[in-house]
Structures are given as structure tokens and as C-alpha cells.
Homo-oligomer: A and B are copies of this chain.
Amino acid sequence: MGDDAGEPGGARRRGRRPAGEDARGAILEAARTELAARGYDATSLRGIARAAGVDPRLVHHYFPGGKEEVAAEALALPLRPADLLARLADGPPEELGLRLARTFLGIWDPPERRDVVRGLLLSAASPDGASLLRGFFGEAVLARVASLARAPEPALAASLAAAQLLGVALLRYVIGVEPLASTDAATLAERLAPALQRHLDGVDA
């Protein structure tokens, strides 16, 4: 509130303002609160800065990718959304489904990330959490996957592919349905790839 001094990098700080990693932590904490209260679309970097008691330029300094990057880290996502596109685009289009499956499993298979999946799932059950996921994933993930899809309706294609992966996450990490839970990631990626590719290519039955 009315707190708009402070320098990116913390060159000139006042005592009551958090410094360095503290400021970064305060920004993430404020982002979690703002995102939970307002949803993704209505949350602004300026609002996050205000809630954290830091200059908006400091938010830009720590999170050059903007709101999307703050949200990804506030949600404890282990990949910067901006890196996702580069990773998916790097290879032949007919293997996009396989790259998508491998990237997804590579991100979420580490056991220590299961709490994140469970937390995201829980948050989806509340209207605010659903709004947050809708805004964030729509912009940060689905739009990027859609930009690579060759299907005539790329947004629908991307959401169908995302649905496939999200359902795998639920059954594999949260509910623990066999044999899906214990199939090794490499095999699973190969089993998933044709269905994902089919969505992304938009091939009719």
C-alpha cells in the first residue's frame, strides 16, 4: 500500500522491506494469496507487489517471465511454462505426442512431486481453485500446445491431449490404479503417444 520505492536487485532497501531471497519469498507468498483470492485472470503483478510490500520492478527482476512465471512457481510447478514450448517444438511434428508424453511424465514422475499433483487436484474442487487453474493452464500450457497442433481445431485438440495426461496423473499419482501406477515411464510414454498424436493431428476415425 503506497509502497513503491525499492530497487530491483535490492540495491537500495529500507529496513522493513524484505531483501534478496526474503523478497522473493514474500512475492511468492503474496502471489499464492492473490491467486487464491482472485483467480489467475484478475491477479496483476502490481497487486502481487503491493501485497508483498515491494516495488513492482522487483517482481520483474525476480520473475522476468511475468505473471505466468510467478504463478508457475507459486503453484510449485517444476517447469517454467516458457520453456515448455521450446522443449515440445524441438523435433519432428509427427513425434509431438511422444515428446509431450515424455515431458509430462518427466516433470511429474518424481515421487516428491505427488503432493503437488494432489494439491492441484484439491484446488480444482473449489471454484477459486478451478478459476486459477483454468486461467493459468489455459494461458501457460494449453495455448502453447495448441500452437504446435496441426488439427483443424487446435484449442480443442490441445485440451483433449491435456485431458489424457491429466487423467493419467490422477490415476497414476493420486488414485494409484494398476497397472498404470507402476508401468515404467518410458513404456507409458510410448503407449500414450499415438493417442496424443491423434488428437494433435486431428485425424478422423
Contacts and interface: CB of A to CB of B under 8 A. Distances in A.
Interface of A: 97-98, 118, 121-122, 124-125, 130, 133-134, 137-138, 142, 153, 155-156, 159-160, 162-168, 170-172, 174-180, 183, 190-199, 203-205
Most buried by B among A122, A180, A203: A180
A161 to B, nearest CB: 9
Contact of A166 (B97, B160, B170, B183): B170
A70 to B, nearest CB: 20
6 contacts: A156-B191, A160-B164, A160-B168, A163-B167, A166-B170, A195-B198
User: A interface, by DSSP: helix, strand, loop or mixed?
Assistant: helix
A-B CB proximity, top 9 nearest: A167-B167, A163-B167, A195-B195, A166-B167, A159-B180, A122-B125, A194-B205, A163-B168, A164-B164
A125 B156 contact: no
A124 B171 CA distance: 9
